[in-house]
């Protein structure tokens, strides 16, 4: 390793100590400091890995990474970037935490969550064994401009032919990454989970043929643009998945049918997560683990080690029970609302909307959440809003049909953490990114006070 990289590494470590001494958790800052001094440090560390799987895509990266981390853990140490620090400095910080003073990695296997825009920068200098793509959806528009751009970056980042690509057969945009990539491309997809709550009016960004531009025809939708599609001109259609999942909602299991050239074998995993979008995360991780040689038996056992990340249906016991859920874009939010419909409990729904850079400063996406169809099936007795743009959300709810006098706007996050109402069993707190960790801490306090 070059002197410059070692200097960067030392500075990074010192930053981490300073932060620790100040009592602050730093996920990205040590990496940022190190990267400033030593631009090649990241690739030098990554290239020491013997095995590396990267998870990318718009939604579900953190949950899929957590599943893969559980599935791949074979007793040897693995490293991962927990907490969603998925830009270059976050990756660097995760690697620095496991390296010695001379820049030698002490852990040789990694599961890393990588942001779509960061992926091509990482894979230009380093080729992982496998890349898992969750989906390609409309995200915070002020970050990348448009879905087309995110797709271009993913396509550039997954080009290297020696890397296995595990991508979503049911998402026309994610699927297109596998076109013209005959070797080492695997598709996963759902069969037999035609979700009856899928809405025809949901936002669908990829619902057009990438070749002729015509609107794709769908046999069924699962959520967003995800479903069974084909171009009316025949350019493009949902491929037969290598790993076909069937979600048994009532039994809380996922049955995976693996299509070998001549045979088809099935295995079942208990599903510890809610909502159809989360079953995709489980299926993506299980498929990638199978591609990397983990046996079905080990998958079934290791799924019990899965630790749900912060704010992914994180439950805080109490009366009422409070559940914290991340929302960051319309398709993700719609998926969360569908999962809420499955819960028959009398509930309060609280939206916490911030507009910092990490949340997306443009809040127009709130108007693409399909609240009009959620409200009649929500069984919600109370509607609340908070965050820096809580008032925007209140206005959105008013236009979706909630009486203006019925909407409570809360000024402080501490009030959000203590929301309760007569007859409400569960309070669902749907929060954007920057409010998520503060809320999780506040909710823990409230639950402990109990």
Partner 1 sequence: MDRSLRFVHLFPELLNLYADHGNMAVLVGRARARGFAVETVAVRLGTELRIENADLVLLGGGSDREQVIVGKELTRYREDLLSAIDRGLPVLAVCGGYQLLGEYYELPNGERVPGLRVLEMTTRAGRNRLIGNVAIEWREGGERKTIIGFENHGGRTTHEYPPLGTVIKGFGNNGRDGKEGVLYKGIVGTYIHGPLLPKNPHVADRLIRAALRYRGQDDTLSALADDLEWRVHDAVLRQICGEK
Q: Which residues would be at the binding site for Zn ion (CB under 5 A)?
A: 209, 211-212, 231, 233, 235
Which partner from the list Zn ion, partner 1, none does 211 bind, CB cut-off 5 to 8 Å by kind?
Zn ion
Residue 433's nearest CA partner among 68, 76, 85 is 85
| Sole residue written with tokens 């020696």 | 162
For 102, the 3-state DSSP assignment is: coil
Q: Determine, following the binding rule CB under 8 A, whether residue 173 of this chain makes contact with partner 1.
A: no
**Which C-beta is closer to partner 1: that of 297 or that of 404?**
404
**Which C-beta is closer to partner 1: that of 148 or that of 342?**
148
Q: Determine, following the binding rule CB under 8 A, whether residue 277 of this chain makes contact with partner 1.
A: no
Stretch that binds partner 1, among 107-115, 253-261, 263-271, 388-396 (CB under 8 A): 388-396
Stretch that binds partner 1, among 13-21, 35-43, 242-250, 359-367 (CB under 8 A): 359-367
Q: Determine, following the binding rule CB under 8 A, whether residue 212 of this chain makes contact with partner 1.
A: no
By the 8 A CB rule, do 237 and 183 touch?
A: no
Smallest gap from Cβ 259 to partner 1, in A, equals 34
Q: Determine, following the binding rule CB under 8 A, whether residue 148 of this chain makes contact with partner 1.
A: yes
Q: Determine, following the binding rule CB under 8 A, whether residue 358 of this chain makes contact with partner 1.
A: no
Q: Determine, following the binding rule CB under 8 A, whether residue 203 of this chain makes contact with partner 1.
A: yes
Q: Which long-range contacts (CB under 8 A, 24 or more apart) does 194-202 make?
A: 194/220, 194/222, 195/221, 195/222, 195/223, 195/276, 195/338, 197/338, 197/341, 197/377, 198/222, 198/223, 198/227, 198/338, 199/334, 199/370, 199/373, 201/370, 201/373, 202/330, 202/331, 202/334, 202/370
Which partner from the list partner 1, Zn ion, none does 212 bind, CB cut-off 5 to 8 Å by kind?
Zn ion
Q: Is 79 left (phi over 0), alpha (psi -120 to 50) or beta?
A: beta
Of positions 302, 322, 347, 396, contacts partner 1 by CB under 8 A = 396
Q: Determine, following the binding rule CB under 8 A, whether residue 236 of this chain makes contact with partner 1.
A: no
- Give the 3-state secondary structure of 162-195: CCEEEEECCCHHHHHCCCCCCCCEEEEEECCCCC
> What tokens were used for 113?
């969550």
DSSP 263-311: -EEEEEEE----SHHHHHHHHHHHHHHHHTT--HHHHHHHGGG--PPTT
Smallest gap from Cβ 353 to partner 1, in A, equals 12
> What tokens were used for 394?
């209140």
Q: Which residue is nearest to Zn ion (CB)?
A: 209
**Which C-beta is closer to Zn ion: that of 130 or that of 177?**
177
**Which C-beta is closer to Zn ion: that of 233 or that of 356?**
233
Q: Determine, following the binding rule CB under 8 A, whether residue 117 of this chain makes contact with partner 1.
A: no
**Which C-beta is closer to Zn ion: that of 228 or that of 286?**
228
Q: Determine, following the binding rule CB under 8 A, whether residue 392 of this chain makes contact with partner 1.
A: yes
Of positions 97, 255, 398, 421, contacts partner 1 by CB under 8 A = 398
Smallest gap from Cβ 139 to Zn ion, in A, equals 25
> What tokens were used for 330?
């319309």
Which partner from the list Zn ion, partner 1, none does 357 bind, CB cut-off 5 to 8 Å by kind?
none
Q: Determine, following the binding rule CB under 8 A, whether residue 312 of this chain makes contact with partner 1.
A: no
> What tokens were used for 128?
């992982």
Q: Determine, following the binding rule CB under 8 A, whether residue 229 of this chain makes contact with partner 1.
A: no
Q: Determine, following the binding rule CB under 8 A, whether residue 217 of this chain makes contact with partner 1.
A: no
N-term to C-term CA, the chain: 52
Cα-flanking dihedrals φ and ψ of residue 238, to 5°?
-60, 125
DSSP 369: S
By the 8 A CB rule, do 284 and 132 touch?
A: yes
> What tokens were used for 305?
């080690």
Q: Determine, following the binding rule CB under 8 A, whether residue 395 of this chain makes contact with partner 1.
A: yes
Give residues in contact with partner 1 (CB under 8 A).
141-142, 145-148, 203, 213, 215, 361-368, 388-389, 391-392, 394-396, 398-399, 404
């Amino acid at each position: 390793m070059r002197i410059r990289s070692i200097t960067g590494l030392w500075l990074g470590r010192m930053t981490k100590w300073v932060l620790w001494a100040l009592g602050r958790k730093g996920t990205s800052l040590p990496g940022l400091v190190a990267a400033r001094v030593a631009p090649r440090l990241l690739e030098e560390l990554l290239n020491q890995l013997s095995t590396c799987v990267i998870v990318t895509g718009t939604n579900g990266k953190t949950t899929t990474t957590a599943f893969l981390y559980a599935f791949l853990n074979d007793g040897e140490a693995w490293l991962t970037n927990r907490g969603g620090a998925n830009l270059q400095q976050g990756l660097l910080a995760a690697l620095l935490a496991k390296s010695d003073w001379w820049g030698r990695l002490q852990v040789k296997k990694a599961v890393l969550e990588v942001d779509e825009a960061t992926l091509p920068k990482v894979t230009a200098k380093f080729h992982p064994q496998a890349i898992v793509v969750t989906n390609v959806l409309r995200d915070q528009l002020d970050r990348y401009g448009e879905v087309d751009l995110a797709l271009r970056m993913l396509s550039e980042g997954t080009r290297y032919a020696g890397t296995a690509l595990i991508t979503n057969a049911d998402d026309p945009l994610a699927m297109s990454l596998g076109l013209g990539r005959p070797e080492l491309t695997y598709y996963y997809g759902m069969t037999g989970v035609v979700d009856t709550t899928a809405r025809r009016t949901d936002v669908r960004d990829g619902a057009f043929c990438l070749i002729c531009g015509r609107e794709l025809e769908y046999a069924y939708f699962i959520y967003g643009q995800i479903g069974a599609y084909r171009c009316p001109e025949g350019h493009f259609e949902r491929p037969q998945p290598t790993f076909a999942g069937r979600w048994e909602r009532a039994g809380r299991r996922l049955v995976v049918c693996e299509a070998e050239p001549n045979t088809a074998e099935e295995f079942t995993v208990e599903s510890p997560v809610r909502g159809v979008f989360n079953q995709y995360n489980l299926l993506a991780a299980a498929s990638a683990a199978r591609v990397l040689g983990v046996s079905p038996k080990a998958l079934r056992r290791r799924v019990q080690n899965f630790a749900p990340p912060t704010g992914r249906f994180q439950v805080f016991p109490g009366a009422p029970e409070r559940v914290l859920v991340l929302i960051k874009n319309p398709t993700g939010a719609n998926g969360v609302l569908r999962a809420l419909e499955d819960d028959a409990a009398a509930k309060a729904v609280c939206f916490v909307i911030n507009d910092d850079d990490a949340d997306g400063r443009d809040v127009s996406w709130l108007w693409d959440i399909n609240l009009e169809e959620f409200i009649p099936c929500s069984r919600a007795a109370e509607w609340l809003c908070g965050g820096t743009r809580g008032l925007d959300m209140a206005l959105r709810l008013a236009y979706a049909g909630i009486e203006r006098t019925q909407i409570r706007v809360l000024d402080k996050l501490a009030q959000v953490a203590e929301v309760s109402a007569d007859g409400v069993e569960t309070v669902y707190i749907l929060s954007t990114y920057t409010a998520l960790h503060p809320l999780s801490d506040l909710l823990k306090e409230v639950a402990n006070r109990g």
